[in-house]
Amino acid sequence: MIKASKKIYLDYASTTPTDPKVLGAMLPYFSNKFGNTVSFHKRGADAMEAVENAREVVARFINAKPSEIIFTSSATESNNLALKGIAWANAFKGKHIIISSIEHDCVLNAAGWLKTQGFEITELPVDKKGFVLLKDLKNSIRKDTILVSIIHGNNEIGTIQDIRAIGKICRKNNIYFHTDAAQSFGKIPIDVIKDYIDLLTASSHKIYGPLGAALLYKRSGVPITPLLHGGGHEQNLRSSTVNLPAVIGFAKAVEICSKNKMETEKLTKLRDKLIRGIIKKIPDTKLNGDPKQRLQNNVNITFSFVEGESLLLELNMAGIYVSTGSACSSNSLSPSHVLMALGKNPEDAHGSIRFSLGRPTKESDIDYVLLVLPQIVKRLRKLSPFRKNNRV
């Protein structure tokens, strides 16, 4: 067993630390500048002004109007609001919804619940790289289709869908298009107009902003039913006292992303170094997802003849923090639905690990992983019931 000499967090797709500049921007709003945006006095008005400034920042970032941004508490909430909100508000038009088979659990399970409420869900298959095929989408559209929800950058395998082409098809067919951009927002440029997006989910804590803030972009005129009824905040679409410090932090995190053009280049380089290194140094490994059309920080590798959980435990002991599948489903014993959708067998799906790089990741971190990982895999394969005869 390799003992940790370093601590290397490579699970930034799961959550990120809050940027000190973000925290600095938030701090005054906990005390000196605290307030409820709907209070009818100076403190309330100041809070409202701060929230509206934040709304403008995040709206501009995706070429939306401020009035099209609904602040929520999380990407899970935004995705639930998009799916259920569209379903409830448009059921009179039809009850058919299309998603992909590699959605995040929150889209998948929200859709699953809608099934119990009389909606019909079509799950589009993906190819071996994780792409939805446009012809499949076109073929699945029906007269009663009200919504297409397809993830932008996949959280597990990093594959980036051509959302512009998908959006165009939806717009042409008068069907609302939602994309879960929790992993891509802040990493890949998004233009809700040029990309024909009707609804989009983005999250703060994936981009070095605080937990507790996320958004649902909703194009003007698209009708949705709220998930949270109450005092009428967020244009009556998401009642709840607005989480002032979190929203301020979210906007600051977006501002930092928008100025940080070098990050993509740096992370892409480190990502590719890690991929190449693993494939070269460790036999019977395979990159999952597309090598090019992938999130700048995502590395997902199948290590054949290894149990992913064991690999994860050993890496943990070595101070390397990674995930199998998405963080959210990593406590479940069933193989990742995303990897299964790529056509993997359950053993290979179980033997897959996601490394997700982040802003603080250094080249020396990658070097350390490439030093430690091959030894761990080699040892585990010796113990593995899955091992190929003499190969490993």
Window 353-392: residues binding a second copy (CB under 8 A): none
Stretch that binds a second copy, among 189-197, 210-218, 272-280, 295-303 (CB under 8 A): 210-218
The residue among 31 and 220 lying less far from a second copy, judged by its C-beta, is: 31
By the rule CB under 8 A, 310 interacts with a second copy: no
Q: Is 2 in the site for a second copy (CB under 8 A)?
A: no
346: contact with a second copy by CB under 8 A: no
- Using CB under 8 A as the binding rule, the residues of this chain from 25 to 44 that contact a second copy are 27, 30-32, 34-36, 38-44
Please tell me the distance from the alpha carbon of residue 223 to that of residue 176, in angstroms, as a whole number.
10
Shortest reach from residue 39's CB to a second copy, in Å: 5
Question: Using the rule CB under 8 A, is 227 a contact of a second copy?
Answer: yes
Minimum Å gap between C-beta 219 and a second copy is 23
Burial class (CB in 10 A: 0-12, 13-18, 19+), 127: middle
Question: Which range, of 19-27, 255-263, 274-282, 362-370, touches a second copy by CB under 8 A?
Answer: 19-27
Candidate list 223, 232, 343, 346; residue touching a second copy; CB under 8 A? 232
**Does 228 interact with a second copy (rule: CB under 8 A)?**
yes
Catalytic residue among 106, 170, 257, 328: 328
Among 2, 188, 328, 370, binds a second copy (CB under 8 A): 328
Kindly state whether residue 11 participates in binding a second copy, applying the rule CB under 8 A.
Answer: yes
Is 257 known to be catalytic? no
**Closer residue to a second copy (CB): 112 or 374:** 112
Give the catalytic positions in this structure. 328
